[in-house]
Amino acid sequence: TPRANRVLEDAYRETMTHGQSYIATEHLLLGIVSEGNGRAMDALRTMGVSGDAVRNAVDELVAQTPEDAPAGPRMAEPRIEGGIFGMPVGAGQMRPNANDDASMLEQFGRNLTKLAADKKLDPVIGRDREIERVMQVLARRQKNNPLILGDPGVGKTAIVEGLAQLIASGNVPDILRGKQVWTLDLASLVAGSKYRGEFEDRMKKVVAELEKSKNDILFIDEIHTVIGAGSAEGSIDAASILKPPLSRGEIQVIGATTAEEYRKHVEKDAAFERRFQPVNIGEPNNDDTISIIHGLQDRYEKHHHVHYTEAAIKAAVALSSRYIQDRFLPDKAIDVLDEAGARARIHKMSLPPEIAQVDADLLRVRTQKSEAASAQEFEQAARLRDQEKSLVAERDRLETEWREQLDKNIVTVDEDDIAKVVSGITGVPVSNLTETEASRLLRTEDILHQRVVGQDEAV
């Protein structure tokens, strides 16, 4: 059409003005803006975008583009969009190979010592003896790689987090001062390694960083997975890459796995097994579990906006220990408390009908606005946009009032709530869970009569 021809001519002039040798999408956009009228400009005006804003965004983009940049896709569209709508040009855009210069440990791991220094790890209670044993192994001259063995949920990872917290606080022997504990995400390391040798290259770079730093300790949870990890026909696995530097004492690794997985996988690789010193972790007793929960109580209460009574904590430990047999303390008791808090929060935090009504109105207005924009009824779309803004403001006001009211009324989680959660997990009736031993003994005769028929005198 004649208008399209004029837009192309304007785009060509913009290209010459900016001293570039090709017409890109940003030049076409400037051509549309230069035209001044048309459906495209009407749509931009409806969204509150002026021609000057478009031109400024494009000028800033072009200024950041090297003169010798090749013609072709340059991710210009989202960068222009960001500049038009008030975001910094290039915001949120990833450079190709942006992580090329980054540490492999930073890409595929987490610095537990830094997280501990930033108070982002849960406190570790009642594991002083086990943490001291791990520090003793780390301080050895040979075989200074602890392998933490224990059932699922007993706190193997928590012991390493406790070590990181001690290092961050400086409360460790001189040989461990300044150390950094990194946890490696082996799944991320394997993911995306399409070509032969790519995983081995990543793993060798991780090992090279550890050898170079001398102050980094690598923690590998579920360490049995490194045996065979990343291996394919004609390649080697992660364990084979770790063996030489471990045998030379050039890197330190903390592993964690269950006794079953240790026997099934690690023991079969004798060369890998003898680089480690096993540290056995047992299940804590009920009293120790209660102490552990006391250390975590504040964080769970803040998360769920509830208060746990002392009776609820003791009930969570006692009932989970007695009725949940396929898992271990303290994990199962903490899970029961967590679920009880979530249950109380869900019942407490149901949206008021006023907010639900505003949400329904918002959905209707947004749908009508989209339909009006699609039908090019821009005046109607603008009116609906204003209506949407007022509804959003109204919802924010109602939600603020509702949340302030919630914060004032803290829900209490008691032993009955714990019993209901354990009943839901195990299928045992709540009445059986909450019944005391004395009441059971009082009903012994009735229970025996149900089981033993025709022997009233004997019963």
Residue 372 sits in a domain whose CATH number is 1.10.8.60
What is residue 108's three-state secondary structure? Answer: helix
Residues 74 and 125 in one domain: no
Q: Which of 33-37, 138-142, 200-204 has the highest mean pLDDT?
A: 138-142
Tell me what the mean pLDDT of segment 140-150 comes to: 89
Q: Which domain holds residue 74?
A: 2-84
pLDDT digits (tens, 9 = 90+) for 411-453: 888 888 888 888 888 877 766 566 555 555 556 666 677 777 7
- Give the 3-state secondary structure of residue 401: helix
Please write the tens of the pLDDT for every residue from 255-304. Answer: 999 988 888 888 888 888 888 898 998 888 888 889 889 988 888 888 88
Residues 200, 162 contacting (CB under 8 angstroms) = no
Give the residue from 228, 260, 280 where a domain finishes: 280
* Residues 313 and 195 both lie in one domain: no
> Could you check whether the bond before residue 330 is cis, i.e. omega within 30 degrees of 0?
yes
Pair 125, 264 in one domain: yes
**CATH at residue 65:** 1.10.1780.10
Report pLDDT for 188: 78
Amino acid at 79: R
* Claim to verify: residue 170 and residue 302 sit in the same structural domain: no
Kindly state whether residues 67 and 178 are assigned to the same domain.
no
- Asked if 241 and 388 sit in the same domain, the reply is no
Query: Of 135-139, 222-226, 322-326, 376-380, which has the strongest mean pLDDT?
Result: 135-139
- Say whether pLDDT at 230 is over 50: no
pLDDT of 331 > 70? The answer is: yes
Range scoring the smallest mean pLDDT among 21-25, 206-210, 367-371 = 21-25
Residue whose entry in the numeric block shows the structure tokens 């803290």: 410
Q: Do 271 and 169 belong to one domain?
A: yes
User: Looking at the domain assignment, is residue 95 inside a domain?
Assistant: no
Rounded Cα gap, residues 232 and 246, in angstroms: 23
Block residue for tokens 């072709």: 72
Pair (127, 271) in one structural domain:
yes
Same domain, 114 and 71: no
User: 156 with 252, same domain?
Assistant: yes
DSSP H helices, 96-218, are: 104-108, 112-117, 128-138, 156-169, 186-190, 198-213
Last residue of a domain, one of 280, 307, 330: 280
Looking at the structure, do residues 114 and 192 belong to the same domain, yes or no?
yes
Q: What secondary structure does DSSP assign to 267-334, as a single string?
A: TT-HHHHTT-EEEE-PPP-HHHHHHHHHHHHHHHHHHHTEEE-HHHHHHHHHHHHHH--SS-TTHHHH
Q: How many structural domains comprise the chain?
A: 3
453 belongs to a structural domain: no
* pLDDT at residue 334 tops 80: yes
Q: CATH number of the domain that 212 lies in?
A: 3.40.50.300
Residue 354: pLDDT over 80: yes
131 and 273 co-located in one domain: yes
Final residue of a domain: which of 280, 298, 328? 280
39-46 and 25-35 helices, crossing angle to 10°: 90
pLDDT band at residue 229 using 50, 70 and 90 as cut-offs = low
Q: Judge whether 434 lies within some domain.
A: no
For residue 97, tell me if it sits in a domain: no
